Amino acid sequence: MRAARAEGGAVVVVEVDTTEPGRDEVVVRIHTCGVCHSDLHLVKQDWSFAPPSGPIGHEAIGVVERLGPGAERFVAVGDRVILGLGGAGGGFWCGSCEFCVDGHPRLCTQAKQVLGAMAETYTIWAPALVVLPEAVDDLEAPLACGGLTAYSAVRKLTTHDIGPGSVVAVLGAAGGLGHYAVQLAAAFGHRVLAVDVGAERLAFARELGAEWAVEPGDAAATAADVGGAHASLVFAASIAGYRLGFELLRKRGLFIGVGLPAPTRVRSRWVRSSCSPRIRRSCSRRWEPCRRCANWSTSRPAVWCAVTSDARALSTRRAWCSTNWPPAPTSVGP
């Protein structure tokens, strides 16, 4: 079969052997695979731990083609499924270690990553799949990473006592993850301060529910007018975005870093100048939110899907529409 790989700073398509499904595994015929910014980092060797070559792709939608022994307990041939939910730990977890029992399967010592979905087929542990309703189009593959990661970040607001009505800054608001976060934060009742570059992207953020949508140069003044942001969610993969995220916070504001910049040094003065912020990192973690995220997307009247072809280019399309938006923020889940 054909598969895309990172080789020497470029993407190449090569022929690779197909793998037979083992116990509780299935082979999925891939229909679509999203391009995550982490794929770009891997290809460009931005991270010191990135291998010089290897498979790419971890957010995909496809149809179950073959079952391994025991897999019929979880899915059936012909089921349309989404894979990659849970990111680096989304391919397998034991279910019995202290991390799994506590609801953190991504930290399981036996966790297996989803990597290599940018191929014609992919073999994966059947319990790691979520069967999709027809309302979720094949082109919504970024929900498996971008959507879930944004959902995980927004849920942390409630965990850290950032309630409805709070001002939440979203940096990189029109990007592949940020545009999900704007919708989710607004649905949870937060007042969203969207930060991005360009009139078109700012208009897009307003359409998604942002109360304010400003360029980076205007963000500090806008935040100051309302006493500072209660929280900053930084989806921009740049140190400049991280610096600005700290600057927008009020005293004891919550900083959640999601975007992964290329390695560099962040000087502590930006942290000190933010009046003792609470700092958290965020990525997709628990398994149950994976299903909630997929279910939430079917009831949202105007969810947009963004697919990145490189670090800057962004194309968007309207995913689906309905006339009503009945669920209250609490229906999304804690």
With cut-offs at 50, 70 and 90, classify the pLDDT of residue 282.
Answer: low
Classify 42 as helix, strand or coil: helix
Could you tell me how far CA 104 lies from the centroid of its own chain? 17
Q: How many residues does the structure list for the chain?
A: 334
Instruction: Judge whether 317 lies within some domain.
Output: no
Mean pLDDT of 210-238: 96
Q: Are residues 222 and 135 in the same domain?
A: no
User: How many CB atoms lie under 10 A from the CB of residue 14?
Assistant: 12
Among 55-64, 70-79, 322-331, the range scoring the smallest mean pLDDT is 322-331
**Residue at 172: amino acid letter:** G
Mean pLDDT of 308-334: 29
Give the pLDDT score at 313.
Answer: 25
Q: Are residues 138 and 56 in the same domain?
A: yes
Q: Are residues 130 and 174 in the same domain?
A: no
Helices (H), 4-119: 37-44, 98-101
Q: Are residues 112 and 234 in the same domain?
A: no
pLDDT tens profile 289-302 = 555 555 555 444 33
Mean pLDDT of 312-333: 29
**Residues whose CB falls within 8 Å of the CB of residue 159, separated by 6 or more in sequence, listed in order:** none
Give the residue from 255, 281, 307 where a domain finishes: 281
Q: Are residues 171 and 87 in the same domain?
A: no
Mean confidence (pLDDT) of the chain: 81
Q: Are residues 68 and 163 in the same domain?
A: no
Quick check: 282 and 177 in contact, CB under 8 A? no
Instruction: Judge whether 320 lies within some domain.
Output: no
CATH number, domain containing residue 159 = 3.40.50.720
Q: 185 lies in which domain range?
A: 150-281
Q: Are residues 122 and 7 in the same domain?
A: yes
pTM, two decimals, is 0.76
Instruction: Judge whether 184 lies within some domain.
Output: yes
Give the pLDDT score at 291.
Answer: 53
Mean pLDDT of 308-331: 28
Q: Are residues 273 and 294 in the same domain?
A: no
Instruction: Judge whether 265 lies within some domain.
Output: yes
314 pLDDT above the threshold of 50? no
102 vs 88: which has the higher pLDDT: 102
Dihedral sign for Cα atoms in the order 17, 19, 20, 26? negative
Distance in angstroms (rounded) separating the CA atoms of residues 193 and 253: 14
User: How many CB atoms lie under 10 A from the CB of residue 197?
Assistant: 15
With cut-offs at 50, 70 and 90, classify the pLDDT of residue 153.
Answer: very high
CATH number, domain containing residue 108 = 3.90.180.10
Provide the domain count of the chain.
Answer: 2
Q: Are residues 61 and 186 in the same domain?
A: no
Quick check: 193 and 219 in contact, CB under 8 A? yes
Give the pLDDT score at 206.
Answer: 98
Distance in angstroms (rounded) separating the CA atoms of residues 100 and 210: 36
308 pLDDT above the threshold of 80? no
- From residue 328, alpha-carbon distances to 57, 164, 224, 324, 332 in Å are 34, 12, 30, 12, 8
**Residue at 216: amino acid letter:** P
Q: Which of 280, 278, 279, 224 is nearest to 247 (CA)?
A: 224
Instruction: Judge whether 8 lies within some domain.
Output: yes
69 pLDDT above the threshold of 50? yes
42 pLDDT above the threshold of 70? yes
Residue with tokens 């991005």: 196
Among 23-32, 88-97, 230-239, the range scoring the smallest mean pLDDT is 88-97
With cut-offs at 50, 70 and 90, classify the pLDDT of residue 263.
Answer: low
Instruction: Judge whether 134 lies within some domain.
Output: yes
Quick check: 65 and 120 in contact, CB under 8 A? no
107 pLDDT above the threshold of 90? no
Q: Are residues 8 and 126 in the same domain?
A: yes
Residue 44: what are its φ and ψ, rounded to 5°?
Answer: -85, 0
Instruction: Judge whether 304 lies within some domain.
Output: no
Q: Are residues 252 and 140 in the same domain?
A: no
Q: Are residues 258 and 289 in the same domain?
A: no
**Residue at 302: amino acid letter:** A
Residue with tokens 């009831």: 299
**Residue at 3: amino acid letter:** A
Mean pLDDT of 78-90: 83
Instruction: Judge whether 315 lies within some domain.
Output: no
Quick check: 215 and 240 in contact, CB under 8 A? no
With cut-offs at 50, 70 and 90, classify the pLDDT of residue 211.
Answer: very high
Give the pLDDT score at 106.
Answer: 77
pLDDT tens profile 247-256 = 999 998 999 9
